[in-house]
Structure 1
Amino acid sequence: MPAPTIVVVDDAPEVRLLVKTQLRLSGRLEVVGEGADGYDAVELARAHRPALMLLDVSMPGRDGLAALPLVLDASPTTRVVMFSGFDQAGLADHTRRLGASAFVEKSLPIEQLVDRLVAIGTPAGADVSDAATGEPGHHLGGRTEDGATGNRDTGRPHPDLELDPVLAEHLERFREIFDDAAIGMATMTLDGRIVRVNRHLVGLLGDDADALIGTAYADLAADPGPVLEALQNLRDGGSAAQLEHGLADEPARRFNATLSAVLDAQDRPLYFLLQAQDVTEQRAAEAELHETEQRFRLLVEAVQDYAIFMLDPEGHVASWNAGAQRLKGYSAEDIVGRSFRAFYPPDKQAERHPEHELAIARREGRYEEEGWRVRKDGSRFWAHVTITAVHDADGVLVGFAKVTRDSTERRRILELQQQANERLRRSAAEQAEFLAVTAHELRSPIGVLAATAETLARHHDDLTAQERGDFAEGMRRTADQLRRLLDDLLTASRADARSLGLAPQPLPLAEQLRAVVTSARGSHPQAEVVLDVEDGLVVQADPGRLAQMVDNLVANALTHGLPPVAVSARADGDFVAIAVHDSGSGVPADVRGRLFERFGTTTGGTGLGLYIVRALAEAHGGEASYQVEDQSFVIRLPRERGA
C-alpha cells in the first residue's frame, strides 16, 4: 500500500527541512509539497488533495488559522494538523473547532511527531484527538497535563530533547525570568484556570504548585466577580486589566493583580498572563500614613492654612482673621466692606459664580466646592471652600461663614499619584507583553536546534552530504537568531540600568561596516545588500556596539522592507551619518512617532531593536532618527578628530 501523502507548510525553512527529512527517513509518509504561508497551503491543498497537511499557526501574510477553513474547502478529505510554538490548550481547542484533526506543539520530539502524523493519517487515527495517548486535548513533547512544557515536578525540558549544554543554558536562563521573578506570575487558560505558576506566587498563596494547577483564579478571590469580569473583557478583546481583591480564605489579605492576554496573529487571545503582588502591608501602611497626615493637616491648617471670615447677606466681607490675611494677602483694612467677588478669577466673576454660591448656601444651608481663587497680588491657588448660611434665633439670615483652605499642594500630590499609577499600569502591561513575546520567540528556534542536533546524532550515516550541510547551515542561522535575541535583551536591560560599559576607540568605518554587510549577506543570501562608504571616515565608538547598531538596522530593513538594502556613510560636520535604506514603502505615519520607543513596534521580535539603536547612539554622544524624505534610518556618531 502506498504511503499516505502529506504537505508541510511553515514559514521557517529550517522547520520544513527538518520535518521533510524525518518523514523521508521514516518511509511512512510521502511529502508531495511544501509551502511558506497560508496562501501556499490553500493552493497545495487544491493541487494535491493530500491525506495530511502539517500547518503552522503563525505565518506572515495569511496565517494557519485563516488558511485552515480554506484548506478544508479546497480538499475536504485532508486531515489538517496544526503546528505551533504556543503551548496553550485554548488554541488547540480553537483549531479543532475550525476543523483541525489535531494540534501539535513544536517542542514535540521530531520522531514522536512522525509517529503522531502517521497515526492521524491512518483510518483508525481519524477519530482520535491525541494519537499518542488517546486522551482528547492532551499534548505531547514534554508537556504535562497542567499545560506547561517540561516535567511536572521540575519544569525542566523533556528528557527526549537532550539539549546540548549551551542550548540548555540559554533555555534555563530565560525560564528563570518567569520562575525566579520577584513578582507572582502564572499562565492561565482562556477560562482563567492556572496552568503554570512560578515560585513567588506559590509562596504568596501558601500552597504547592500541584494544588494550584487547574484551579480557577477567580476561585482564589474573596469576590470572584471582578476577576471574572476582567477575564471576560480580555476574551472580548479588551486591554490589560489591573484589579485588587482579597483572598477567599483570607479576605483581609489584599492582592494587586494584572491580567493580560497573549494574542495570536489575528489579535485573538491564546492564553492569559497573571502578575500578582501581596499589597496587604502596603495598604495598611497607606492607611496609617493617611490617618497621620489627616491629624497633622488638621493641626497645621487650623493654625495657618484656614481663612475664616464672615460675609453679610449681600456677600460683603464683615470680618477677617489672621489665617485669611496669610492666605489671601489682604489686611482687614484692605478687604472688610468689599465684595467677596474680589477672590475669584475674572471668568468666574463674569459668570456670576460668587452669587450662585451664595444662592445655593441660602437655599440649602451650605455650599462646598474646590476651584481657583485669586490673591491680592494676582497669583492663583487651588482652594477648598465651604460657605455656611448663618441665621439668628428667629431664623433670619444674618450672613455667611466662609472657610477657605489652600489645597494646591494636595492637588499636585493627587496629580502625581495619578501619573505614577499610570506609569505602573503601562510598565506592567509592557512586562507582560515582553515575557510573552520573548517566550514565543525562543520556543521555535530552540526546538529546531534540539531536533536538528538529535536528527544528526541518530541518523548521521543515513543523511546525504547535502542534507548534513543544510542542517549545519540551519543550525548556524538559528544560533545567530538566538544570539541576536539574547544580545538585544541584555543590551536593553543595561541601557535601562545606565550600565552599558562602552569602550569607544577610533574605528575605520569602512572596515566595520563591511563586516556587518558581509554577515548580513551570509544570513540572507537571496537579498541584495550594498555598501557605499566615504573614504577615510573614522568614528569614536565601541566596536561591538557599533556593529550591533548597524546590524539591528540592516536586520530591520531585511525583515520589514524590501531589497536591495543600501548601507552608506558620509561625513556630517563633527559627526558621521550612517544610513540604512531599503526599497520598501517606508514606515507608516501612525507608527513613526513610537519607532524608537521600548516595545514601540512588535510586529515580529521583541520590539527592542530600534530602542537599542537609539540608546546606544545616545550613549556614544550621537543620535538615531528616521528620515521621512528618503525613508532611511540614520545613526549620527562623533567623528574622530583629524579624520
Structure 2
Amino acid sequence: MRPISHELSFQLLVDSVHDYAIYMLNPDGYISSWNRGAERVKGYTADEIIGQHFSRFYTPEEQAAGEPARALQCALDEGKYEREGWRVRKDGARIWVSVMIDPIRDKSGQLLGFAKVTRDITERRAMQEALRESEQRFRLLVQGVTDYALYMLNPEGIISNWNTGAERIKGYRADEVLGSHFSRFYIDEDRQRGLPAHALHVATTEGRFENEGWRVRKDGTHFWAHVVIDAIHAEDGELLGFAKITRDITERRQAAEALEQTRASLAQAQKMEAIGQLTGGVAHDFNNLLTVIVNSLDLLAIKLNDPVAIRCLSNAQRAAGRGAELTRQLLAFARRQPLRPGAHDLNMLIAGFEPILRRACHELIVFALHLAPEPAMAHVDARLFEGALLNLVINARDAMPDGGLLSISTECVSVDESSRFVSLQPGTYVKVSILDHGTGMPAEVLRRAMEPFFTTKEIGKGTGLGLSQVYGFVTQSGGDVVIHSEVGKGTTVELYLPAADAASLLQSSSAASPAVTPVPSAGKVLVVEDESDVLEVSVEIFHSMGYDVITATNGLEAIDVLKHTRDIDVLFTDVVMPKGMSGVDLARFTRKLCPQIKVILASGYPIPALAEEHGALDEFLFVSKPYRWGELMEKMRDAMRKSVH
C-alpha cells in the first residue's frame, strides 16, 4: 500500500470538515478550491463555484460598498482579516457568518493567494439577539418602574446600577450613587447598630432579608420603607451580589397609625362613657341621701338652742356640703352638671382670670400667656371654664416642684371628618393648650388620667377628680380633651371647645337678669317622691315654710290627688319615678289638667341630661338635688310670683 502524501492527507482533512467552509482564493480573489463544508454552508458544488470571484457571497449592499476588496486588502496589510456579517447562499437565503482570511505566501514572500474560513453562526447570533432583546426589555421594565427603587449591590454592598424609581424615591441620580455603599440611605442610629451589614449577612446566609424602617433621602428627609434584599448566586454557588427592592410606604404607615389611634380613641371614649354612666347613677342616688341629710340638719338647726348641739350640727352640715361638692364633681365627669353656656371670648376670660392663675403658681414657675391675636370665641359656661383652667394650672404646678415653664395658649382650629377625633363633629373649635415642663406621665398613667378617683398623688392630697371634672365639662360642652405627655419632658393638655361667632357674644351679654319680687303668702303643695326619706324631709321643709303639704309616691297617685283636690298651688315632683310615669310626664299632665298649678321639678341629674330623654323643659322650674332649705324657698318664691303656662 502506497503511503499517503502530506498534501493528500491535508486535503482529506479539509474535505472532511463539514461545519466550516474552507477554500482558497487566488491573489485576485477567485476561488481555487472548495471543501464539503463550503458546499454545505454556501450551497454550491465545487464545479459550480471554482473560478468564480468570492465577492458573490456578499450582500449587494456590501458589494456596492467595496467590502470584498477591503477584506483582501486588510488581510494583506494586517496579515489577517476577521469579521462577522451577512452572506448570501446559492438559494438566496442570508446567513450570519464568522469569516477569517489569511494571506498565503511562498518562502520568498510572494503572494500565492488567500486561505478563507467561513462558519455559519446564524443560530448563535439569533440566540444572542434574543438574549440582548430580553435584557433590553428587562432594563426597560426596571427603568419603567417608578414606585419601587430597584438596584443591584456587589457582594460588599456597593451600588452597581440604579433605576428611575430609585431616583424618584431616594432623590439621587445614578451618577451620584453608583460606586457608593448602600448604607448611606440608613439613618445614623441604624448605621451605628450595624443594620446594613446585618441585612447583607441575613441575605447571604438565608437567601433573603426583609424588614421595614426609616430611610434617608438626598434632601435629608426621612421616609418609612419596606425593604427586600435577595442574594444572587452563580451556578457554582459563588455570591455575585444582591438585588435590592425598596418601597416608600410612609403614607400607608401613617394611615395605619391614624386608624390605630382612632380605634384607641373610640375605645377610650366608650370606656369613659361607661364609667360616666355608672358614676352619674351613683351620684344621683347619693344626692337623694344628701338631700335627706342636709335638710334634716337645717331643720334641726332651726329648732335647737344648745350651743354644743349647734356646733355638732354645723360640723355635720360642712361634711354634708363636702359630700354635695363630691357629687357635683362626679356629675361633672358624667356630663350631667347644669351648664349655663354662652358665647365668650376665651382670650378675655383667660386674661381676666390671669391674676388668680398666677397666684396658684409658686415663685419658681415662669407663667406665660400666648393668646391668639384674633378673638377666640367659644360656646362655654364661663364659670366652669375658669374652674377647669384653674384645675389644670394647679396640676401643672404640682408637676413642677422645682419650677419650670407653665404656659397657656389659644388658637382656632378646624376639624374635618378625617380627623383623629372620634367624639368631635366636623367644624371650628378653639384649642386651649396648657403646657408644663414638669415630670410628665408614663403611658400607663396617661391612659387612665381622666378616670374619676384615679390619682398618683399621696393619700389626702388629691381625690382624682380634677382631670375627670375637666373632661366632663369639656365633653358636655361639645368638645374634647387631648393629653400629650412624656416622662421627664412635661405635659400638654389641649381643650377643644366649640367655636361661637361674635354675634352670639352680643346677644348673651345683653340678656337681662330677672327681677326678684317679694315672697307671697303660703299655699298648698303636692310633693311627689318615691324615696321615703327624701319625701319625709321635703314635707318638713315645706311645713317649716308655712305650706300645707299633700304627698304621693308615684305619678299615678299624684294624678288621683290632682283630680280630687282643686286648691293645689304648687306641684313639687322628682323626675325619676317608678310605675312608668316620670315626673316630667306628671308635670305635663298637670299643666293640661290644671294650668294654674305651678310646677317645680327636682332631680340629681341636670337639665341638659334630662332634656336628652324628655325634650325641652324650659316651661318648668327646676331644682338640683341635693337641695337645701334656702334653695327650695327661693324656688318657691319664683314659682309663686310667676304664672307659667
* TM-score above 0.5, yes or no: no
* Greater RCO, 1 or 2 (C-alpha within 8 Å, sep 6+): 2
TM-score (norm 2): 0.29
- Computing the radius of gyration from Cα coordinates, the structure with the larger value is 2
